[in-house]
């Protein structure tokens, strides 16, 4: 199964290479890749997984200045986080595993023009967050930096964090400040389609996972190598920790609902996406030590299944006992 998948993908990618006489594509992507503005179209399949519409490594507008070098470093960090920042990543997640195509894919939590929206109020911490604060939070939680004993206060000044902020800001060159990008916030399940927390069906989630996800993510959730690409671990010690956004079932469902399964993106129903997300978030993962400082002012969301405090409306079976 695995070798078949690799062959299919490699041939798809090979025949999508541009012809020599093809018109110069916008944003440096080959013309076979459908774009929506600066982003890879949400309907593109995994053939587009290797594309970066804006790629600082080969962008001719960047020179050899310190800033240009840091933008390039930020891109390398974003696309190979465990390899480039080994002492800040307590597992195997790369930013690009969740923010696909280097943060340049539609409905995959794209980050183009998002820097212009910061500082912004952060509900979990109940204070204003700068772009750097937001990147730090993704390190602490999605990247499980706390698993490496990294102290939150040290992170804002770390060159790795600043380099990623430089890359994200460069991606957003020319975007208006304070204007919500049209593609932001499109990774949520519609409120009307939310399954109540007590109705999450883990057995159903597991069955859908086995049918639709296992070829690429593997039975143990650790990912299958496809060419030089491997998805990040969906659970276990190398995955995101239990204080991450992805550790919330509705957030996780919205995260992959529009991009997975990667050969048929958007195919899962809203309901099925939530059962699979509940299954993934029922699995063990590293503990975030700062959970008691989250949602102190704002209400604890009902889908924050790993928090031990009682949630409004949540039955005891989902109070962080997974």
Q: Which residues bind ligand HEC (CB under 6 A)?
A: 46, 49, 81, 93, 95-100, 109, 111, 114, 134-135, 138-139, 142-143, 164, 184, 187, 212-213, 215-217, 226, 229, 231-232, 234, 240, 244-246, 251, 255-256, 260-263, 268, 276
Q: What is d(CA 306, CA 301) in angstroms, rounded to the nearest whole number? A: 11
Name the minimum Å distance from CB 108 to ligand HEC. 9
Closest approach of Cβ 134 to ligand HEC, in Å? 4
Per DSSP bridges, beta strands 229-230 and 225-226 are: antiparallel
Q: What's the min distance (Å) between Cβ of 211 and ligand HEC?
A: 8
Q: How far apart are CA 272 and CA 207, in angstroms?
A: 10
Nearer to ligand HEC, 32 or 241 (CB): 241
Nearer to ligand HEC among residue 197 and residue 235 (C-beta): 235
Nearest CA among 91, 86, 101, 107 for reference residue 43: 107
Q: Which is nearer to ligand HEC, 49 or 314 (CB)?
A: 49
CB of 319 to ligand HEC, least distance (A): 22
Q: Among residues 96 and 311, whose Cβ is nearest to ligand HEC?
A: 96
Compute the distance between CA of residue 266 and CA of residue 270 in angstroms, rounded to an integer: 9
Long-range pairs for 46-51 at CB < 8 Å and ≥24 separation? 46/9, 46/12, 46/226, 46/262, 46/263, 47/9, 47/12, 47/13, 47/16, 48/101, 48/105, 49/100, 49/101, 49/229, 49/262, 50/13, 50/227, 50/229, 51/101
Number of neighbouring beta carbons within 10 Å of residue 277? 28
Question: In whole angstroms, how close is the CB of 10 to ligand HEC at the nearest point?
Answer: 13
Compare residues 277 and 314 and give the one whose CB is closer to ligand HEC: 277
CB of 80 to ligand HEC, least distance (A): 10
Shortest distance (Å) from residue 103 CB to ligand HEC? 7
Return the HEC string of 209-227: HHHHCHHHHCCCCCCCEEC
Q: Residue 32 or residue 81: which is nearer to ligand HEC going by CB?
A: 81
| Whether 241 contacts 144, CB under 8 Å | yes
Rounded least distance, CB 23 to ligand HEC, Å: 27
Strand 127-129 with 120-122, pairing: antiparallel
Q: Measured from the CB atom, is 83 or 310 closer to ligand HEC?
A: 83
**Whole-number Cα distances in Å, 109 to 61, 182, 200, 259:** 26, 12, 24, 10
Query: Judged by CB, which is closer to ligand HEC: 164, or 278?
Result: 164
């Amino acid at each position: 199964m695995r070798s078949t998948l690799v062959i299919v993908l490699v041939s798809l990618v090979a025949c999508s290479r541009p012809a020599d006489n093809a018109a110069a594509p916008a944003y440096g992507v080959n013309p076979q890749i459908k774009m929506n503005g600066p982003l890879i179209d949400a309907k593109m399949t995994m053939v587009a997984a290797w594309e970066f519409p804006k790629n600082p490594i080969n962008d001719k507008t960047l020179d050899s200045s310190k800033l240009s070098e840091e933008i390039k470093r930020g891109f390398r960090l974003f696309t190979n986080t465990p390899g480039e920042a080994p002492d800040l990543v307590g597992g195997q997640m790369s930013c690009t595993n969740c923010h696909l195509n280097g943060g340049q894919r539609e409905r995959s939590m794209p980050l183009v023009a998002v820097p212009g929206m910061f500082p912004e109020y952060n509900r979990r911490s109940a204070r204003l967050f700068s772009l750097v604060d937001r990147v730090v939070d993704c390190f602490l939680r999605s990247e499980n930096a706390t698993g490496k004993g990294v102290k939150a206060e040290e992170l804002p000044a770390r060159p790795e964090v600043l380099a990623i902020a430089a890359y994200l800001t460069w991606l957003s060159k020319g975007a208006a400040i304070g204007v919500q990008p049209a593609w932001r916030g499109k990774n949520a399940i519609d409120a009307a389609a939310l399954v109540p927390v007590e109705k999450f069906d883990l057995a159903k989630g597991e069955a859908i996972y086995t049918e639709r996800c296992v070829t690429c993510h593997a039975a143990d959730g650790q990912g299958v190598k496809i060419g030089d690409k491997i998805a990040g671990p969906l659970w276990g010690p190398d995955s995101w920790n239990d204080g991450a956004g992805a550790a919330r079932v509705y957030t996780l469902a919205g995260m992959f609902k529009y991009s997975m399964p990667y050969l048929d993106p958007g195919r899962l129903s809203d309901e099925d996406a939530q059962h699979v997300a509940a299954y993934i978030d029922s699995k063990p993962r590293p503990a975030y030590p700062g959970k008691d400082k989250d949602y102190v002012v704002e209400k604890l969301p009902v889908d924050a299944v790993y928090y031990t405090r009682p949630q409004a409306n949540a039955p005891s079976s989902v109070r962080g006992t997974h």
